[in-house]
A and B are shown apart, each in its own frame.
Chain A
C-alpha cells in the first residue's frame, strides 16, 4: 500500500479524506482546535479572520443541503471566500470528466476543495491530481468516508463523556451503505474506544466488517446492553426497493430506536444521528427529541469542527 495520501512529507495534514490511518494526535488536534470555535459561533460577531483572502470551493457532485450549508457557514466564519458549485447539474451532464472540472477550478486559484461525490474514492482521486498547494476535504464519497461527520460525532461524544477510553459505543443501522459508519468506526478505534459494536440485519452489514475492529450484533436487545453511546444511521428509502429489507415497519420494530430499547443502554447513554432523520423508521420521535438526544448539538458542533479542519489545512 502506498503512503498515507492525507499527510505531507513532514507528517502534517495535507488533505482530510478519511479518518482511517490518521494518528490519534491529528484527530485530537482537530477536536482541540474546534473547542474555541464553539465560542465563536455563540458570539454576536461570529467571525474570525483566519482564512481571509482564501478561496474555498464547495464541489458538490451529489445533492446535499445540510452538509454543504455547514461547510459554507464554517468557511464564512473563518472569513474565507466561498464558491458553491452544484456540479451534478452543470458540467458533468455536459460530459466533462471529474478531473477536467477540478483542473478548471484549480486554474481559478482555489485554495481548498470541499468535495462530495457519489463514488467511493472520488476525493482520493482529486487529491492525487490537484496542485500540491491545494487542500481537499472529503465531504462524503460514495459508501467510503465522511470524515468531518465522524469528527463532529467524536467532538460531541467527548463533550458529553470526556474520555474515550472507557466507552462502549454501538452503531445501529445500514452499515453496508454508510460512509458515516465507516468513518465513525475508524475514528472511535483510533481514539481508543475499547468496544465498538455494530448492530444491523445481515443484509445491511458488509463482508468481514469485524476486520474493522468492531463486534457484530444482529439483536438490539443484546447489542444495546450497557452501551454509553448510540450512533444511529439513516435508512435510505431506496433500500426498501431491493430485497434487503421487507418493510420500514418491520425494520422499525426490530432495529428502530424506541424508548424501550434505549432503556437497555446505560441510564446516561447519549443518542447521536447524522441527519436527516427518518422518524418512525430508524428512530422514535420520543427518543429523537428526548433528553438523551444530542442530535441538535451535533449540528452546532459540526460547524466548529469544520472550521477547525479548514483552519488547520489552509491556515498553516
Chain B
C-alpha cells in the first residue's frame, strides 16, 4: 500500500536527519523523504503534524516467554506490546523453556513470530547446551536457523576455559558473544546492590566486583582471542570505566544498558518494592550517573528495555523470593525521551540509542530511514503525557518500577514493512 506521512518531524539518527517533511512509502519500502516520487498516489495519508517520525525502535533484549513460559506471557501478548511501544525489531534471549539451543526451536520461534506479521524477532542463541555452561551449542547451525548472536542470558558461565573456547569458536565464524558480566560466586544469593539500601533492609547483596571481576575475564579473553563481544546490561561505574578503557584499546566490544538502570537506583527499592528486584541489581546513584555518562560518550552504545514480564503472583512475595524482572517494551521510548530531556540531549542523539545503534550491534537491516530500506517506522507524540498503569500496558506483565509514574511520549502509529500494525 502506498502511504504518505505528512508534515512530521522526521528524525533519522543514522543519517543525521532532523527536519519537518513528508515520507512516502511504496511496496513496503521507504520511497523518498521530502520529494514525492514520480507517479506516487497515496492510498493512505497519515497526518504527522506535531508528531515525530523515526525509525522503528530496535530493542536488544525482550523476553517473549515462548516457548514454555506462557503463564508469564505469550508471543501474542508481547508482540502486541512491542508494536504499542514502537519496537519493530527485537532480540530475544535464549532463556526460554526449552532454551534456544537447537536449530529446530529457533526455526519454530521465527516461524511463529513471522506468522503474526509483526515485529521482527532476532533470537540470541544459547552459547552452551541448556545454558549449563559446559558444552558449546552448534553455533553455525543455529546461525543458519536465524540466531544473530550467542549468549548465556542471565545464566552463569563459571568455567573460564569454556568461555575462552566459546570465544575462539565463535570468532572462527565471526559470531558475536553477548555476555552479561557477573561472577557467579560473588553474586551468589544476592538480590540487591551491596550498598546502603541492602544494608538498611537486610537484603543479601551483590557487590560491584561481581560485575568487574567477570568483566576483566571477558576483556582479557576477548583481547587474546579477537572475539567480538557485546556486553549486556552493564550496571556499575567501575564497569563503565573498564569498558571505556577496553574500547580505547581498540577491542571489538559494544555495550548496552537497561532503560530501568538509566533512571533508577537502589533508593527506589524503598520498603521492599519487588518491582525493583531486577537483574543486574539497581546500584547507587553514582553508578546510575556513570551509566548516563557512558551513554553520552559512546562507551554504552544502546539502551534496551530488558523486557521481562512476570506474572503477578511471582511478585507478591518477599523481595528476595520475588521473581526478578520488569516489563519494558512499552516504556523504552518514553524512558529514553525522559533521559534526553533530563540531560538536555538532542533527540537525534537520544533516538540513535534505540534505533541505529542497536541495529548495528545486531548486524541487521533497520534502524534508519534511508530510501530503499524497509519501511519500519515509529510515529510518536512527544508531548503526550500518560500514566503507567496496569490498564495502560498491553504486555501481559504489569510489573514495572514505573507504575504510577507519568511519562512523556506516546506511540501513535507503528509501521512494519510499510503496513500500519499499530494505531493508538
- A-to-B contact residues, CB < 8 Å: 1-2, 5, 20, 97-99, 117, 119-122, 124-125, 129, 141-145, 179, 182, 206-209, 211-212
Which among B156-164, B314-322, B342-350, B390-398 touches the partner chain?
Answer: B314-322
Known: A124-B271, A124-B272, A125-B316. Contact between A209 and B321, CB under 8 A? no
B267 lies within 8 A of chain A by Cβ: yes
Asked if residues B198 and A207 are in contact (CB atoms below 8 Å), the reply is: yes
Q: How far is the CB of B324 from chain A (nearest CB, A)?
A: 15
Provide the residues of chain B in CB contact with A2, threshold 8 Å.
Answer: 270-271
Known: A2-B270, A2-B271, A5-B271. Contact between A98 and B318, CB under 8 A? yes
Q: How far is the CB of A34 from chain B (nearest CB, A)?
A: 25
Provide the residues of chain A in CB contact with B271, threshold 8 Å.
Answer: 1-2, 5, 121, 124
Task: Return the contact of A119 from the options B195, B207, B267, B321 (Cβ within 8 A).
Answer: B321
B194 lies within 8 A of chain A by Cβ: yes
B203 lies within 8 A of chain A by Cβ: yes
Provide the residues of chain B in CB contact with A207, threshold 8 Å.
Answer: 194-196, 198-199, 205, 207
Q: How far is the CB of B209 from chain A (nearest CB, A)?
A: 11
Interface residues on B, range: 20 to 34
Q: How far is the CB of B145 from chain A (nearest CB, A)?
A: 38
B44-85 contact mask (Cβ, 8 Å, vs A): 1 or 0: 000000000000000000000000000000000000000000
Q: How far is the CB of B199 from chain A (nearest CB, A)?
A: 4
Known: A207-B194, A207-B196. Contact between A182 and B316, CB under 8 A? no
Known: A97-B317, A99-B316, A119-B318. Contact between A212 and B202, CB under 8 A? no
B43 lies within 8 A of chain A by Cβ: no
- B-to-A contact residues, CB < 8 Å: 194-196, 198-205, 207, 267, 270-272, 313, 316-321
Q: How far is the CB of A106 from chain B (nearest CB, A)?
A: 15
Asked if residues A208 and B201 are in contact (CB atoms below 8 Å), the reply is: no
Q: How far is the CB of B160 from chain A (nearest CB, A)?
A: 21
Besides A20-B200, A97-B317, A120-B272, 7 other CB < 8 A contacts?
A: A121-B318, A141-B318, A144-B201, A206-B198, A207-B196, A208-B196, A211-B200
Provide the residues of chain A in CB contact with B200, threshold 8 Å.
Answer: 20, 182, 211-212
What residue of chain A has the Cβ atom nearest to residue B204's Cβ?
A143
Asked if residues A120 and B320 are in contact (CB atoms below 8 Å), the reply is: yes
Q: How far is the CB of B316 from chain A (nearest CB, A)?
A: 6
Asked if residues B196 and A97 are in contact (CB atoms below 8 Å), the reply is: no
Asked if residues B316 and A97 are in contact (CB atoms below 8 Å), the reply is: yes
Provide the residues of chain B in CB contact with A1, threshold 8 Å.
Answer: 267, 270-271
Q: How far is the CB of A282 from chain B (nearest CB, A)?
A: 20
Asked if residues A143 and B203 are in contact (CB atoms below 8 Å), the reply is: yes
Asked if residues B205 and A206 are in contact (CB atoms below 8 Å), the reply is: yes
- Of B196, B267, B270, chain A has the most CB atoms within 10 Å of the CB of B196
Report the separation of the CA atoms of residues A142 and B317 in the bound assembly, to the nearest whole angstrom: 13
Report the separation of the CA atoms of residues A270 and B201 in the bound assembly, to the nearest whole angstrom: 28
What residue of chain B has the Cβ atom nearest to residue A125's Cβ?
B318
Report the separation of the CA atoms of residues A189 and B375 in the bound assembly, to the nearest whole angstrom: 62
Q: How far is the CB of B285 from chain A (nearest CB, A)?
A: 13
Provide the residues of chain B in CB contact with A124, threshold 8 Å.
Answer: 271-272
Query: Which 3 residue pairs are nearest across A and B when measured between Cβ atoms?
Result: A143-B202, A121-B272, A144-B202
Known: A121-B272, A125-B272. Contact between A212 and B199, CB under 8 A? yes
Q: How far is the CB of A279 from chain B (nearest CB, A)?
A: 26
Provide the residues of chain B in CB contact with A99, threshold 8 Å.
Answer: 316
Asked if residues B196 and A211 are in contact (CB atoms below 8 Å), the reply is: yes
Report the separation of the CA atoms of residues A99 and B201 in the bound assembly, to the nearest whole angstrom: 20
Report the separation of the CA atoms of residues A179 and B272 in the bound assembly, to the nearest whole angstrom: 15
Q: How far is the CB of A96 from chain B (nearest CB, A)?
A: 12
Asked if residues A182 and B202 are in contact (CB atoms below 8 Å), the reply is: yes
Report the separation of the CA atoms of residues A117 and B318 in the bound assembly, to the nearest whole angstrom: 10
Known: A124-B272, A208-B196, A211-B196. Contact between A98 and B317, CB under 8 A? yes
Report the separation of the CA atoms of residues A309 and B21 in the bound assembly, to the nearest whole angstrom: 69
A-B contact pairs, 13 of them (CB 8 A): A20-B200, A99-B316, A119-B321, A121-B271, A121-B318, A122-B318, A142-B202, A143-B202, A182-B202, A206-B205, A207-B198, A207-B207, A208-B196
